[in-house]
Amino acid sequence: MGYSSLRECINDLEKHKHLVRIKEEVDPNLEMAAIHLRVFEAGGPAVYFENVKGCKFPAVSNLFGTIERSKFIFRDTLETVKKLVALKADPTAFLKNPFEYAGLPLSALNALPLKKSYISHLPTHISALPQIKCWEKDGGAFITLPQVYTEDIDKPGVQHSNLGMYRIQLSGNYYIQDKEIGLHYQLHRGIGVHQTKANAKGQPLKVSIFVGGPPSHSFAAVMPLPEGLSELMFAGVLGGRRFRYSIVDGYVISYDADFVITGEVYPNENKPEGPFGDHLGYYSLKHDFPVLRVHKVYQRKDAIYPFTVVGRPPQEDTAFGNMIHEIAGPMVPASIPGLYDVHAVDASGVHPLLLALGSERYTPYINERKPQEILTIANHILGFNQMSLAKYLIIAAKNDNPDLDTHDIPAFFKHVLERVDWTRDLHFHTRTTIDTLDYSGTDLNSGSKVVIAAAGEKKRELGTSLPSDFTLPEGFSSPKIAMPGVLVIQVISNQLSVIGLEKHFSLNTDYRLPNTFPLIILADNSDFVAQNLNNFLWVTFTRSNPSHDIYGVDSFTEHKHWGCRGSLIIDARIKPHHAPVLEKNQEIEKRVDALGAKGKSLHGII
């Protein structure tokens, strides 16, 4: 059975040696985050902080730090959830094998939230919570594992609720201490629909923020469910226990949460929120977001404060993504005809790069294959759920290689680069919406997208070494090969125009297509980009805006279609408008070194 509380989960993890306790006093200002990052990077256990400086509550992090631990936490219910999702994707599966699904109706009863007539929580206040600051330039302390609960004002009740993980700023900026907190949410989030409806009626939106409780509640808050399907139902099935709640002062209170914050968001009432070190590996900057007027704050008698640290991937939220793919993987292809698989690439920050495999069946009577059906599939992807936030969508035809796998990234890039035709296979969406956390675009939430579609016969052999007479124009240097067919070139100055490089290659017929290096990346540091796959993915796709930063050798525009006959060039240098890169505070790192040296409970962990 599932856990009834966070403490029960922690005790179970400790019993099975999946958790360690830190008894020494640790500062929530950067120190706790620094310890968490080290433990995660080492593939270590969950970390229980017994003594948080300036706070009476203990804290825990890295609960979901490995997919193995996540599977352990949900070991009694995971297979049941996967079967339910598989049945949703293919309802005929029950008829084919009814015995395999025989116990599902009983398990599905846990999806029904259970209303309680009372709560046992005690009153507390915002400043009593652990004031955890993760990165040096963060605007204050944040809740990093919140479960933000709202209801549809037109269809009130838990059945039509939304539970999302939207970061909460507890302190800093212009928030009135203990009376106001910041509520940040991005594009394509259910809470936006609820606030829009409340605003239209001129009414405040009631919000409940749950922190802690059974781990299934945190996981449900990040699960991308269809609009109108309550995450509380999913939490009940995954947790093996119905979501319990009460109503107090008109607010929903999670009966099992360790902390609950209630309050209201009023129409057009915003305050600056941020900066915040986010999961793309950069700071999301200070912008106006809704401010929550705090009503009451509650705590369990034995409350524990869970938190995580996000930054350049992979981080703990990577394990969330892996679990989501394992659970919901069958649903996406079932929802889009002809789609076999998609992979939101974590190393690139998830939304900046999406790889997909689709079928190509439109014209089997024509010998020369080209992208047709996969273009239809690409348009469907860009209109589907949070996949609509993809900035680079690279899609290939599975017909060309039945063994191709979107999760084998080097093989996928090799397949695409061997077949792509830059005169035909680039499809831009200019001046559109992109991920709120992506600062490569023209403004907050604004930028461009490109679809790269490849289908047909292999066109070229990809290069793995440069010819001896290879030259570059002045200002361009240090060519490195990131992978077969991908050349990275270092640029001395951010002001240096790409046009000079285009002309250089255009004048040299050796570099025209067909070309052994169909993709060229411009970077501030070519050694860093070519050092490993993750560096290539992170730099290339988080630091470029397709409409502004894609160039090409022998480029042309024909009837508003842009393409190039030579190599495609992506300018992935850091631009003046980009957000700062997250960097560790070296003074804090030295303090953590000292803690590790003298603290018995820290020895061998950090």
Query: Does the pLDDT value for residue 500 go beyond 90?
Result: no
Query: Does the pLDDT value for residue 486 go beyond 80?
Result: yes
What CA–CA distance (Å, rounded) separates 22 from 36? 11
- Whether the upstream peptide bond of residue 215 has omega within 30° of 0, thus cis, is no
Closest by CA to 167, choosing from 284, 281, 80, 320, is: 284
Q: Which three-class secondary structure state does DSSP give residue 264?
A: strand
Which CATH number, 1.10.357.10, 3.20.20.70, 2.30.110.10, 3.30.70.890, labels domain 69-73+112-307?
2.30.110.10
Note the pLDDT of residue 159: 86
Q: Which three-class secondary structure state does DSSP give residue 48?
A: strand
Note the pLDDT of residue 281: 97
pLDDT by residue (tens digit) across 103-152? 666 677 888 999 998 888 999 999 999 999 999 999 999 999 999 999 99
Query: Does the pLDDT value for residue 495 go beyond 60?
Result: yes
Q: How many residues does the chain have?
A: 606
Say which DSSP state 466 is in: -
- List beta partners, residue 546: none
The ranges assigned to domains in the chain are 69-73+112-307, 316-454
pLDDT by residue (tens digit) across 369-416? 899 999 999 999 999 888 899 999 999 999 999 999 999 999 999 999
- Please, what is the average pLDDT of the chain? 91
- List beta partners, residue 341: 357
Note the pLDDT of residue 594: 86
Which pLDDT band, with edges at 50, 70 and 90, does 320 fall under?
confident
What CA–CA distance (Å, rounded) separates 223 from 89? 16
pLDDT by residue (tens digit) across 211-265? 999 999 999 999 887 655 679 999 999 999 999 999 999 999 999 999 999 999 9
Note the pLDDT of residue 95: 53
Closest by CA to 441, choosing from 353, 582, 547, is: 547
Task: Mark residue 445 as left, alpha or beta (left: phi above 0; alpha: psi -120 to 50; beta: remaining).
Answer: left
Q: In angstroms, how far is CA 447 from the centroid of its own chain?
A: 18
- Whether the upstream peptide bond of residue 473 has omega within 30° of 0, thus cis, is no
pLDDT by residue (tens digit) across 188-209? 788 999 999 999 999 999 999 9
Please tell me the least confidently modeled range out of 5-14, 74-83, 502-511. Answer: 502-511
Closest by CA to 27, choosing from 141, 159, 138, 150, is: 141
Note the pLDDT of residue 200: 95
Query: Does the pLDDT value for residue 513 go beyond 50?
Result: no
Which pLDDT band, with edges at 50, 70 and 90, does 321 fall under?
confident
| Sign of the torsion formed by the C-alpha atoms of 170, 437, 582 and 495 | negative
Which pLDDT band, with edges at 50, 70 and 90, does 99 fall under?
low
Task: Mark residue 268 as left, alpha or beta (left: phi above 0; alpha: psi -120 to 50; beta: remaining).
Answer: left
3-state percent helix, strand, coil for the chain, nearest multiple of 5: 30, 30, 40
Closest by CA to 476, choosing from 487, 462, 465, is: 487
Which pLDDT band, with edges at 50, 70 and 90, does 364 fall under?
confident
Q: Which residues contact 564 (CB under 8 A, 6 or more apart)?
A: 422, 423, 551, 552, 553, 554, 555, 556
Note the pLDDT of residue 1: 63
What CA–CA distance (Å, rounded) separates 6 from 148? 17
Note the pLDDT of residue 517: 95
| Sign of the torsion formed by the C-alpha atoms of 10, 171, 441 and 477 | negative
Note the pLDDT of residue 603: 65
Q: Which three-class secondary structure state does DSSP give residue 167?
A: coil
What CA–CA distance (Å, rounded) separates 49 from 51? 6
What CA–CA distance (Å, rounded) separates 22 from 13? 15
Note the pLDDT of residue 511: 53
Cβ-contact 145, 308 below 8 angstroms = yes
Query: Does the pLDDT value for residue 73 go beyond 50?
Result: yes
Closest by CA to 351, choosing from 290, 417, 278, is: 278
Note the pLDDT of residue 369: 86
Query: Does the pLDDT value for residue 309 go beyond 50?
Result: yes
- Whether the upstream peptide bond of residue 275 has omega within 30° of 0, thus cis, is yes
Share of the chain above pLDDT 90, in %: 77
CA distances (Å), origin 555, targets 98, 345, 509, 573: 58, 29, 14, 21
Say which DSSP state 573 is in: S
Say which DSSP state 386 is in: G
Task: Go through 547-559 and write b for each residue having 16 or more CB atoms within 10 A of its CB, e for each that does not.
Answer: bebbbbbbbeeee
Q: β-strand 114-115 against 392-397: which pairing, if any?
A: unpaired
What CA–CA distance (Å, rounded) separates 377 from 374? 5
Token representation of residue 476: 């361009």
Q: What is the CATH number of domain 316-454?
A: 3.40.1670.10
What CA–CA distance (Å, rounded) separates 351 from 437? 9
What CA–CA distance (Å, rounded) separates 279 from 573? 19
Cβ-contact 143, 211 below 8 angstroms = yes
Q: Which residues contact 308 (CB under 8 A, 6 or more apart)?
A: 36, 61, 62, 64, 144, 145, 315, 316, 317
CB-count exposure of residue 597 (10 Å: 0-12, 13-18, 19+): exposed
pLDDT by residue (tens digit) across 519-575? 999 999 999 999 999 999 999 999 999 999 999 999 999 999 999 999 999 999 999
Query: Does the pLDDT value for residue 510 go beyond 60?
Result: no
Q: Which residue has the tokens 């061997």?
A: 418
Task: Go through 436-448 and write b for each residue having 16 or more CB atoms within 10 A of its CB, e for each that does not.
Answer: bbbbbbeebbebb
